[in-house]
């Protein structure tokens, strides 16, 4: 992904001082060498490449890498930290606009949900719904309200004030988190921070998910962790998906088969309303609007992915990503104890 993402960071048109720190987390494919070659070829912002070594017990790989990167950056005494993944490409004015939004709104954290790639048939069916369901769980407008309980961020693009990161003890306070972006946002909120989350216009994910298996792994690796490994929440989620997204088409078909006009009308109206709420997300992704009635099909796939995530957890495979598997952390260790 680096040839498509790193040059966009190096080319940031930013009026202040900025540097790029790339953390090579145990790669065996020449990541560090490629990054240095890209920096030499493209120029732009200064690049430093660091490697933290294997994460100690109790740390997820990404957060151990983030800790190392933040440590390198803090030596420069920055005002802001931009945490961004290696598969995220930025428009030339992305950093400038993120900082401007933070300054104008007085935000301690500004996060944009990168526009995911939508090219293959499976990506068209599944990806817009991924963001749609995320926005159902974490309504963006609520997140921006001070004191709101709804809290989230999108890990691919997080602009964070350095002093807010210090107050929230990022990333040490969330070192166990598999869903690190939501955990990060909660830690910042708990420390009194003001947050903003929205859809991106200048930030894109360049990672392809061409097959259903690729998308399945993306969702199932952390779906049960999102439910806090709680069987009751799993049952509630499955029931909710079934009632909200699967019942309307079933009700419509059953009504037509049995000749029950009220059942058919209720199912058809609910299906129509459901599809209507999905249209803005399809427009955002530039997809044909006829995909909206297929939302129940996608919801059924997400239901199966969520159940599979729980099955993998109870088989001892936990949240598997990038060659590492993370078991459920002890509840007491979710947040590191306060230092004296």
Predicted confidence band of residue 197 (pLDDT cuts 50, 70, 90): very high
* Peptide linkage before 171 cis (omega within 30 of 0): yes
pLDDT (average), residues 144-154:
91
Determine contact, residues 279/269, Cβ cutoff 8 Å. Answer: no
For the segment(s) 2-210, the CATH number from 3.40.50.300, 3.40.462.40, 3.90.550.10, 3.40.50.10860 is: 3.90.550.10
pTM: 0.90
Determine contact, residues 195/185, Cβ cutoff 8 Å. Answer: yes
Q: Is the dihedral of CA 160, 89, 46, 3 positive or negative?
A: positive
Give the pLDDT score at 106.
Answer: 96
Quote the tokens at residue 265.
Answer: 């009308």
The b/e string for 71-105 (b: 16+ C-beta within 10 A; e otherwise) is: ebbeeeebebbbbbbbbbbbbeebbbbbbeebeee
pLDDT (average), residues 174-191:
94
What proportion of the chain, given as a percentage, has pLDDT over 90? 82
- When comparing pLDDT for 312 and 335, which is higher? 312
Determine contact, residues 292/238, Cβ cutoff 8 Å. Answer: no
Q: Which of 9, 54, 46 is nearest to 27 (CA)?
A: 54
CA 202 to chain centre: 16
CA angle 303–228–177, rounded 5-degree value: 115
Give the pLDDT score at 200.
Answer: 96
Is residue 166 over pLDDT 90? Answer: yes
- When comparing pLDDT for 105 and 222, which is higher? 105
Is residue 199 over pLDDT 60? Answer: yes
Distance CA 60, CA 162 (A): 21
Give the pLDDT score at 139.
Answer: 94
What size, in residues, is the chain? 340
CA 299 to chain centre: 18
Quote the tokens at residue 249.
Answer: 């088409």
Determine contact, residues 88/160, Cβ cutoff 8 Å. Answer: no
Q: Coil, strand, or helix at residue 318?
A: coil
Domain boundaries, the chain: 2-210, 213-322
pLDDT (average), residues 44-60:
93
What proportion of the chain, given as a percentage, has pLDDT over 70? 93
Q: Which of 177, 178, 191, 182 is nearest to 338 (CA)?
A: 191
Give the pLDDT score at 26.
Answer: 81
């Amino acid at each position: 992904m680096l040839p498509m993402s790193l040059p966009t960071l190096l080319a940031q048109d930013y009026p202040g001082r900025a540097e790029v720190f790339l953390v090579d987390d145990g790669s065996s494919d020449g990541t560090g060498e490629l990054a240095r070659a890209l920096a030499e070829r493209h120029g732009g912002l200064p690049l430093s490449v660091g490697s933290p070594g294997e994460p100690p017990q109790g740390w997820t790989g990404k957060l151990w890498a983030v800790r190392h990167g933040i440590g390198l950056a803090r030596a420069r005494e920055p005002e802001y930290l931009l945490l961004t993944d290696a598969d995220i490409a930025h428009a030339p004015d992305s950093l400038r606009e993120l900082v401007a939004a933070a300054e104008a709104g007085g935000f301690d954290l500004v996060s944009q949900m990168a526009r995911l790639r939508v090219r293959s048939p499976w990506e068209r069916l599944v990806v817009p719904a991924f963001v749609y369901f995320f926005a159902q769980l974490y309504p963006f407008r609520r997140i921006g309200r001070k004191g709101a309980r709804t809290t989230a961020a999108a890990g691919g693009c997080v602009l964070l004030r350095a002093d807010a990161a210090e107050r929230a003890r990022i990333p040490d306070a969330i070192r166990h988190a598999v869903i690190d972006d939501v955990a990060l946002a909660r830690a910042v909120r708990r420390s009194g921070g003001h947050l903003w989350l929205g859809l991106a216009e200048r930030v894109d994910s360049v990672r392809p998910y061409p097959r259903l298996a690729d998308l399945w792994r993306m969702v199932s690796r952390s779906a049960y962790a999102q439910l806090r490994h709680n069987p009751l929440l799993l049952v509630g989620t499955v029931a909710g998906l079934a009632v909200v997204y699967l019942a309307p088409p079933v009700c419509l078909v059953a009504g037509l088969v049995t000749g029950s006009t009220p059942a058919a009308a209720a199912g058809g109206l609910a299906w129509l309303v459901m599809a209507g709420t999905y249209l803005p997300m399809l427009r955002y992704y530039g997809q044909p609007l006829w995909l909206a009635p297929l939302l129940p099909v996608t919801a059924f796939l997400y239901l199966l992915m969520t159940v599979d995530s729980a099955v993998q957890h109870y088989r001892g495979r936990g949240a598997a990503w990038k060659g590492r598997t993370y078991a459920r952390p002890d509840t007491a260790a979710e947040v590191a104890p306060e230092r004296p």
